[in-house]
Structure 1
Amino acid sequence: MRRVTVNRILLALVGLVLLALGVAVLIGSLNLQRHWDFTLPPSWPFSGPKDVLLTNHDRTLYRSRDWWWPVGIASLAVVFLGMLWWLLGQAHTRRLRQLRIDSGDGQGALLRGRAVENVLVAESEAYEGVEWAGAALVPRRGGPFARLILGLAPHAAPRDLVAGLDAEVLANARTSAGLRELPAEARLRAVKHRARRVS
């Protein structure tokens, strides 16, 4: 959860910086300060449509130095690869693909994580008061961790439902997978039904 929060804060900051830069370029390139009759601070980077980001002097300042082009290209490559890694990290889902269980013969067996998730979903939806369910197994240091999302019927009692799921559904999953414990997080959502006219 902390990693998700940090990612969202960083994405928001990067978005704000890019938005501010885009607004600065837009105001200068469209000459809005003259059309709409307002003044810009003296430190504003773009004050007119003919302004450039780098002056002629700035662009040619280090051209004769041997280190300039390798450092410039390497820096841009590092920034690009870092942003690409960050983007791929956002799209990557951390799900447990396989569980190693004790089969009793000393070798063990592999159980697909998706199979355990499907069983959790099926048993949760069969439970009284649950209209739909979703489940995901994620890896943790101490072992697998289950995340459940449950759509509750209007008559469901959340406290009794969570206690029953822990005593039955999660207990069955622990027993069938040969796990000592299976910590879980359940998110409960109320199912909204559309009103229907009765004649």
Structure 2
Amino acid sequence: MQKGTIVYLYGESLYINLTNRCPNSCDFCIRNYTDNLGDADNLWLEEEPTADQVVSRIKEEICEKKTKVNEIIFCGYGEPMERLEELIDISKKIRAFTDKPIRINTNGLADLIHKKKTAPLLEGVVDAVSVSLNAPTAEKYFNLCHPEFGPQSFDAILKWTEDVKQYVPDVRMSVVGVIPEEDIQECRRIAEELGVKFRVR
């Protein structure tokens, strides 16, 4: 059985697939339609990798294969902040051999996942965070992303984004391009009010 790819190239970025766990079940999620992205064979993990396994694979790509990489991104077929301790450990260890910027793609629900404030733990750990907003209201978010935490998830995302910009220099919110244009523009307004960048992906 394929054990699942833990580090993969997509464009000129190196992605880390830490977990398949996620508190959301988004209608548009790409994992509903394919098992792989970029040069990954299969992003469904038979077991979650250890921090050292991930660090070893990144070192192999960057130091041994000399793979051209512009950025290292925590983003696979799950929510990377599910494994917050490992994410922090990996980031600190790879700083020893690469100066490439490190980013987390997240749904912004880390505080609900861990039942504590998580944004301060990212200070000096990562260079950028991209928060998936995808809907302009709590009701629309609940109907589109089906978060296990219920309608409170939307406000939690906004609060986490507001918090994390105090600790991480580059923070943006993003939406999928499949939602209505009016919702995209309303999400853009939300990001602007929070003082973060905005991107349609």
Instruction: Tell me if TM exceeds 0.5.
Output: no
Relative to the length of structure 1, the TM-score reads: 0.22
Q: Which has the higher helix share?
A: 1
Greater relative contact order (Cα 8 A, min sep 6): structure 1 or 2? 2
Rg: which structure is higher? 1
